[in-house]
Structure 1
């Protein structure tokens, strides 16, 4: 028996590790664009999933942004059907007209389509083909934006989005391995022109910045960036847990304990939904790293849109605690104001 080619083995091992933790009975769905990363992922899933007693389906998203995109999606779907994937779905989305830049709008449309498809088939998980190279690019982009720890933590291997489990099995597999796996298996990946379009920031990082770093610092830089993301993610998870506990301790007023169950007073129940006031003394006793997370979480609880909530908003809230000199309320996104009254922070 011929030995299994190392790139194919690497992808299969990664998929097996990710799927071993899947406990729900529904199918696992591979999100497949037809590119080398997702095609190698799909081929590995077709091999591994049945051996774990799991049904494997596939969904390909047609963003409608390029000529021939519908034909490409149909080709991927035909290949998937030939490989015995079931279900096989082509999800057509509209990107134009969505808020944000083209990359953000396409990503939002794609994830919404994946979530909707997963719900329709009661899928146990959706598998995404992001590789170690993608993770390194994500960290570099986060650094350039001045992102905090959540941004530098990169993409998680497992994430819950609107009740749907997203898995990224290939974060420890590099892009070259997926290309070699496709070559060994006789697969012909689609080359997305957006990946080399200098109009996209990620494409510039991929074609210019990351190769320059590799040339300057050596080939280990990709793995090092990905490892840094993993370590930051582990630390961030601990800090987030501490912040959740601190937020419960800081709440004041009739809605201070959401875990106590539904409030008899409808007004108090509404306060739970929009966030009770916070005790300044408790906040002041927290470390800066935990307090900033508490304030950020509380601001979102009040209704501030996450995408618009920035570090300067949290800094202004923090000043109400640590640098109080009678200043006026802080204005948050979503037409929300927060003011300090005595020893309590609350809606302005």
Structure 2
């Protein structure tokens, strides 16, 4: 049993930390890059991975969105080095305002991809449950995958099967003081409000902890989506030269995913409203005109029904 990681002496009894060590083992290889905010989830992930004898490079991002953010990132890097990891701080720029969380995530991943082709992040089962509820409010209940590929970066989430209580507990067992993001206490953020208000209310209504059931539903949503996405990928050749009207006979869920793939293949951003409108050219055809789906240098892009297929014209 490892007694130390870097300068940090490991306690003999650490049940929360042990849960994290078991969680990371299926994903281990010689050198792991971890996105480290300094919060309890990512800090505990760095510690658990190091305790398994793996070389760790911690990547600490300064988003420049809060006063003192550079100091937070530098402190996270110092904690990682104290535990024996390599650590770097990278500064990025994110415009504040609506959609800031998504913009920060994209900028963060872009920064990661400049230095590695695989990054580990510290999302837990609690994050999975919150993501499922947030998706449901948008009409798209979905979950996070253990691993997924972006264009230039693989993202690994080794802790999706463990609770946030384990990461907080592990930091306490190790004597680590994680950074507490003040945004995590601001109910103006929808995810925070779900965490602090909705999930406790669900626990009261349910008569027990709602997180495991929500996380299981999220995982099943991911698994179901993977089956459909696999079918779409195998059949992509069918709509390379226009979307055949005959595909109107396909099940609704599959057909709409096919249509989304068809549009994306032409560089068109998709939305539920746009897909529904295009789908009516297949499933509710009564001679209506084309559906506007975007713009090009030549003008408005439309999907029209033409010669037995849906075509994109401008």
Which TM-score applies when normalising by structure 2?
A: 0.90
189-198 vs 284-293, greater mean Cα deviation: 284-293
Aligned residue number for residue 303 of structure 2: 338
Alignment of 1:1-348 (within 5 A): 4-19=13-28, 22=29, 27-50=31-54, 55-86=55-86, 88-96=87-95, 100-118=98-116, 123=117, 125-147=118-140, 152-248=141-237, 250-251=238-239, 256=240, 276-281=241-246, 283-305=247-269, 309-334=270-295, 335-348=300-313
Secondary structure class of the residue paired with 1:126: strand
Write 1 or 2 for the structure with the bigger share of strand: 2
Contact between 2:136 and 2:142, CA under 8 Å: does it hold in 1? no
Query: Take 1:185 and 1:116, find their aligned partners in 2: how far apart are those partners?
Result: 32
Secondary structure class of the residue paired with 1:333: strand
Aligned residue number for residue 269 of structure 1: none
Q: Deviations over 1:229-269 (max 9, x none)?
A: 11111111111112223332x33xxxx4xxxxxxxxxxxxx
Measure how far apart 1:68 and its partner are.
Answer: 1.3
Secondary structure class of the residue paired with 1:64: coil
Contact between 2:35 and 2:59, CA under 8 Å: does it hold in 1? yes
326-335 vs 136-145, greater mean Cα deviation: 326-335
Secondary structure class of the residue paired with 2:128: helix
Query: Take 1:317 and 1:49, find their aligned partners in 2: how far apart are those partners?
Result: 53
Contact between 1:136 and 1:225, CA under 8 Å: does it hold in 2? yes
Task: Quote the RMSD (CA, aligned, Å).
Answer: 1.8
Contact between 1:115 and 1:162, CA under 8 Å: does it hold in 2? no
* Unaligned runs of at least 5 residues, structure 1: 257-275
| Compared CA separation, residues 104 and 59, structure 1 to 2 (3 A) | same
Secondary structure class of the residue paired with 2:114: helix
Query: Take 2:62 and 2:14, find their aligned partners in 1: how far apart are those partners?
Result: 32
Aligned length, in residue pairs: 300
Query: Take 1:228 and 1:18, find their aligned partners in 2: how far apart are those partners?
Result: 23
Query: Take 1:277 and 1:49, find their aligned partners in 2: how far apart are those partners?
Result: 53
Contact between 1:31 and 1:38, CA under 8 Å: does it hold in 2? yes
Query: Take 1:74 and 1:245, find their aligned partners in 2: how far apart are those partners?
Result: 46
196-205 vs 212-221, greater mean Cα deviation: 212-221
Q: Deviations over 1:102-132 (max 9, x none)?
A: 22222222222222232xxxx5x21100111
Query: Take 1:286 and 1:37, find their aligned partners in 2: how far apart are those partners?
Result: 43
Query: Take 1:16 and 1:177, find their aligned partners in 2: how far apart are those partners?
Result: 16
Query: Take 1:344 and 1:208, find their aligned partners in 2: how far apart are those partners?
Result: 49
Contact between 1:157 and 1:171, CA under 8 Å: does it hold in 2? yes
Aligned residue number for residue 262 of structure 1: none
Query: Take 2:90 and 2:208, find their aligned partners in 1: how far apart are those partners?
Result: 37
Measure how far apart 1:336 and its partner are.
Answer: 2.3
Q: Deviations over 1:2-53 (max 9, x none)?
A: 854221111001111222xx5xx7x311111111111110101111242xxx
Query: Take 2:263 and 2:98, find their aligned partners in 1: how far apart are those partners?
Result: 22
